[in-house]
Structure formats: structure tokens, C-alpha cells
A and B are shown apart, each in its own frame.
Chain A
Amino acid sequence: MRKWLPPVLLLVGLIALWELVVRAADVPDYLFPAPSAVGAALRDDAGTLADATLVTAREMLLGYLLALALGLGVAVALHFSTVLRRALLPLLVVSQTVPTVVLAPILAILLGYGIGPKLIVVAIVCFFPIVVNAVDGLCAADPELIRMMRTLRGTRWSIFRRVEFPGALPMIFSGARVAATYAAVGAVFGEWAGSSEGLGFVMLQSQPSLDTEVIFASVLILSVLALALYGAVTLLERVLVSWKWQPAHA
């Protein structure tokens, strides 16, 4: 309880300050809505926002899982092949300089308005931190452990399975947590490029009619979705990498 109190108090304080400033300065809702107006939008448009949330959440989750599968697969391939690592890693770095906002419309043109292009955009956004952290984690295995395994009849595969991969899990989860925070942005980019549903679409629809409180409500929901995904990954890490938090012998 004591651990949660400071951030909760800070958040409540900031919201209260926000409400106070907007009301005191008489800022219209279409310019900068007060928290109460955002709350009202959440209540009034609950149905629309709930449907849109489900769509975006599905895009985030599936795109994120796609990024995880591809990212870990590529990281393992790069780990096993020095030639591939030398050839592909610089290209991966360069690929990060291409803005996703540019890629999203191209994907929409190529693949249409379905869920496919959104998943690809989310996967592209999430892919890089997963790969980089996984490659670093796999390479960081203690050479002494590998030597020990070699004298215990450890093959290349068993060294990977029993030493390198479990040892890399903390780093893999670091990358996965960073990627989890990008998934929401990726889904919105994908929807902006071409869609007829989802929170990104709701935000686009709300702009011409100046329903700024609905845009804020959508952003709030996106933040909650990103936090939920981050929390789920952290929880999974606690289960799979429980040894990291085990108290040491006195």
C-alpha cells in the first residue's frame, strides 16, 4: 500500500490541478478538455469506445505476439550464425530509421483495410527492441558456464537450451517490456493509415467534429491497454524468471 500511495497521490493531484486550471482559465472543451469532460465522453460514448477498444486491443496483442515470434526467431538465427549477424544486424539498424508513419499507408495500399497491415505495423514497431535485447542476452552467456558444459558432453544445442537461452531470459523480457509500450502506438499508426474501426479510427473521426474529449478518452484507453500489456509481460517474467528475484543465502 505504501509503495502505491506516492504515485497514486501524484496522479490524483495532477488530475485535480488539470481540472482546476482548465476551469479557472475557462478553456473550451474542444481546445483542451477537463478530466471531467473526458470522463463524460467515456460514459456517453461507452459503446463506441468499447467496440473500438476491442479492435485495437486485438491488433496490439496479435501484432505484439507476431513481433515476439519473429524477433526471437531472428535473434536465435543471428546468434547461431556470425555471417548472418554481420550481414543482417546493420540492415536492421538502418531499417529503424524508416518512419513507421511512412510505412503504414504503403502497407494499407498493398494489403488493404483488414487487420493484416495493422498487425504488420505493430510488429515492425515492436520487433527491434525484442531482437536487439535477445541477441545481446544470448551473447552475454558466461564463457565459464559454456566451458563447463562442453566438458559435460554439452552439444551446441544443449548449451543453447540449458545455458544461453534461460540466461538470456531477463534481457529478452527487458526488450519485450519496452516493445509492449510501443504496441499501442503501432496499432494507432496502422489504423490512421487506413481503417474503419479501432481507437485510431475513432480519434480520426473525432477530429473534424472537434470532439477533443473523445480523442483524450481514446488516448486514455490506449494508455491503459499499453499498461495492461506491460503488466502482463512483467507478470509472465516474474513466473518464468523467478530465480532472478530469489533472495540470496544469508
Chain B
Amino acid sequence: MEAIAKRRAVATRGVSVAGVTRILGGKAVLDGLDLDVAPRERLGIVGRSGTGKSTLLALVAGLDEPDRGTVRVAGQEAAVGRLEHCALMPQGDSLLPWRTALDNAGIALENDGLSRSAARAQARPLFARFGLEDAEELRPARLSAGMRQRVAFVRTLLARKDVLLLDEPFGALDAITRGELQEWLGDALADEPQTVLLVTHDIEEALLLCDRVAVLARGRIAAVLDVDVDRDVADPAFVELRKAALEAIH
């Protein structure tokens, strides 16, 4: 019964990828991939570079179409319908250098037709919540790499979509900043109701931040691991899970 309810929830509000193949440059980057993500679930997608993690996110976001198979987000199969439900935080921060941090964060609201000042007013409380008050009027060039990522995350949140797609959000950061931001993102996501797909090549990051981790290898999901252990990197169960993920990658 529980499985049936979960399947129904995925079909109506979650993300469902069924038998998806995507061929790029004559090569099947994704090859008959199946994946279900329940509403409000946080799913990590790990894999080696070039295994199609970002391609998968683009397909879910409605920015790309599969050659075979179907992708549904909240029951919507058409690309336009998927786009309506997904907000993408791309690799790198993709902040607009000519806008201040606050104006960058509120851009989705401006796209909705709000005035710039109204968008800023809505973005401001999130800046306060995420410790970015001093950065409001600074342009991206004046922000540290970590702050830029946080502004990009606030921008993604302000799109007010059901599904957040985070594509290697900390890929370009140094180890210390990365660790700090992983902790910060964990706290930030804890209060958010959205479904989250986090693409990363860092297994530990996925295990620390997600409910489940899907391992992508050879164009398919090689394993799906439930993270039902303490989020403690020294915990033997955590170490075991990391080892299982590593084996699935290879």
C-alpha cells in the first residue's frame, strides 16, 4: 500500500524519469535511465565526470528533450510544463555582473512582472536569514565565492518552484568554503518544502545533504542508497555507505 501511495505521489507531484536515453555527439550519455523522486525528497546524484549528471538535470528542468523515454515533473511531460516546476542552480553561480546581489536574487520575481523594488523587498528577508545583509548592494565581483553561491541559492529559492535542481553548487570552491557551505545548505534546505535534486561528484556531500543517493554509471542508475545513517563522516555506517557508493561508481 505504501509503495502504491509513493508511486502516486511521484506521478502527481514528484519527478519521474522512465527509460530515458539521450544521445549527444553520437554517444548515448544516458541509456534507458529510470529514476523516481518523491515530493519533498532530497536526492543526490553522484557519478564520474561526463556520466550525464548535468544532462539528466537539463532533461528534468525542461531545457532538453530525451531521444527516448519520458520525463515527468509533477505529472507534466511537456518541456514547458517541466520548466514551470523546476528552478536550476547551474554550475558556477551564473550571477549577472551588472546587478547587485539583491537584484540578482530577485530576478525571477522581476520576470514574473514585479517591479525591481518589489522584488528587492521580497529578497531582503532571505538575505537576512542567510547572513547576506552586508552583501545586498555589492556586485558579484565584490563577493567571495561562497557568498556568490549563497546569493545564487537565494535566487533559486525565490523562483518559488516545487523542484530545485542544484548542479554541482560547490564544485568550484576550495575545501574549507565547501565544507562550510555544505553545512549551511543542509540547514537552509531543512526549512524548505521543495523536492531537491543535487548533482555532485562528491559522494560525501551527497550523503551529508540528501535522503537518498543515486549513483550514475554508464548512462544508468547503478545503485540507489538510502541515507538512513547518522550524518557523521566518522560513523562506521556512514563510511560503509560511502564505500558502497564508490563501488557502484566503479
Query: Do these two chains interact?
Result: yes
Q: How far is the CB of A205 from chain B (nearest CB, A)?
A: 49
Residues in B with CB closer than 8 Å to A167 are 96, 98
Identify the closest chain B residue to A248 (Cβ).
B141
Chain A interface size, as a band, is 20 to 34
> What is the CA–CA distance of A149 and B89 in the complex, to the nearest angstrom?
10
Residues in B with CB closer than 8 Å to A86 are none
Could you tell me which residues of chain A, from 199 to 234, have a CB within 8 Å of some CB in chain B? none
- Contact: B61 with A151, CB < 8 Å? yes
Q: Does B134 contact A (CB under 8 A)?
A: no
Q: Does A163 contact B (CB under 8 A)?
A: yes
Q: Does A166 contact B (CB under 8 A)?
A: yes
Could you tell me which residues of chain B, from 39 to 92, have a CB within 8 Å of some CB in chain A? 58, 61-63, 83-84, 86-92
Chain B interface size, as a band, is 20 to 34
> What is the CA–CA distance of A247 and B97 in the complex, to the nearest angstrom?
12
Residues in A with CB closer than 8 Å to B86 are 151
Q: Does A2 contact B (CB under 8 A)?
A: no
Q: Given the interface contacts A246-B141, A246-B142, A249-B141, does A151 sit within 8 Å of B96 by beta carbon?
A: no
- Contact: A162 with B107, CB < 8 Å? yes
Q: Does B191 contact A (CB under 8 A)?
A: no
Q: How far is the CB of A171 from chain B (nearest CB, A)?
A: 14
> What is the CA–CA distance of A166 and B107 in the complex, to the nearest angstrom?
14
Q: Does B110 contact A (CB under 8 A)?
A: yes
- Contact: B141 with A148, CB < 8 Å? no
The stretch of A44-52, A63-71, A152-160 that contacts the partner chain: A152-160
- Contact: B110 with A162, CB < 8 Å? yes
Residues in A with CB closer than 8 Å to B94 are 142, 144-145, 148
- A151 partner, pick from B91, B97, B143, B159, beta carbons under 8 A: B159
Q: Does A150 contact B (CB under 8 A)?
A: yes
- Contact: A166 with B142, CB < 8 Å? no
Q: Does A147 contact B (CB under 8 A)?
A: yes
Looking at chain A's contact residues, is the secondary structure mostly helix, strand, loop, or mixed? Answer: helix
- Contact: A151 with B63, CB < 8 Å? yes
> What is the CA–CA distance of A42 and B126 in the complex, to the nearest angstrom?
64
Identify the closest chain A residue to B58 (Cβ).
A147
- Contact: A155 with B111, CB < 8 Å? yes
- B108 partner, pick from A145, A152, A248, beta carbons under 8 A: A152
Q: How far is the CB of A61 from chain B (nearest CB, A)?
A: 27
Residues in B with CB closer than 8 Å to A151 are 61-63, 83, 86-88, 159, 161, 165
Q: Does B180 contact A (CB under 8 A)?
A: no
Residues in B with CB closer than 8 Å to A169 are 98
Residues in A with CB closer than 8 Å to B89 are 148
- Contact: B97 with A243, CB < 8 Å? yes
- Contact: A243 with B107, CB < 8 Å? no
- Contact: A147 with B143, CB < 8 Å? no
- A249 partner, pick from B61, B87, B96, B144, beta carbons under 8 A: B144
Residues in A with CB closer than 8 Å to B141 are 243, 246-249
Q: How far is the CB of B166 from chain A (nearest CB, A)?
A: 12
- Contact: A147 with B88, CB < 8 Å? yes
Q: How far is the CB of B95 from chain A (nearest CB, A)?
A: 9
- Contact: B111 with A148, CB < 8 Å? no
- B90 partner, pick from A144, A154, A158, beta carbons under 8 A: A144
Q: Which residues from chain A sit less than 8 Å from chain B, CB to CB?
A: 142, 144-145, 147-155, 158, 162-163, 166-167, 169, 241, 243-244, 246-249
Given contacts A148-B89, A155-B111, 10 further A-B contacts (CB under 8 A): A151-B63, A152-B87, A152-B159, A153-B84, A154-B111, A162-B107, A162-B110, A162-B111, A166-B96, A167-B98
21 contacting pairs across A/B (C-beta < 8 A): A144-B90, A147-B88, A148-B89, A148-B90, A150-B63, A151-B62, A151-B83, A151-B165, A152-B155, A152-B159, A153-B159, A154-B111, A162-B111, A166-B96, A166-B98, A167-B96, A169-B98, A243-B98, A246-B139, A249-B143, A249-B144
Q: Which residues from chain B sit less than 8 Å from chain A, CB to CB?
A: 58, 61-63, 83-84, 86-92, 94, 96-98, 107-108, 110-112, 139, 141-144, 155, 159, 161, 165
Closest 7 CB pairs of A and B: A152-B108, A151-B88, A243-B98, A153-B111, A148-B94, A166-B98, A248-B141
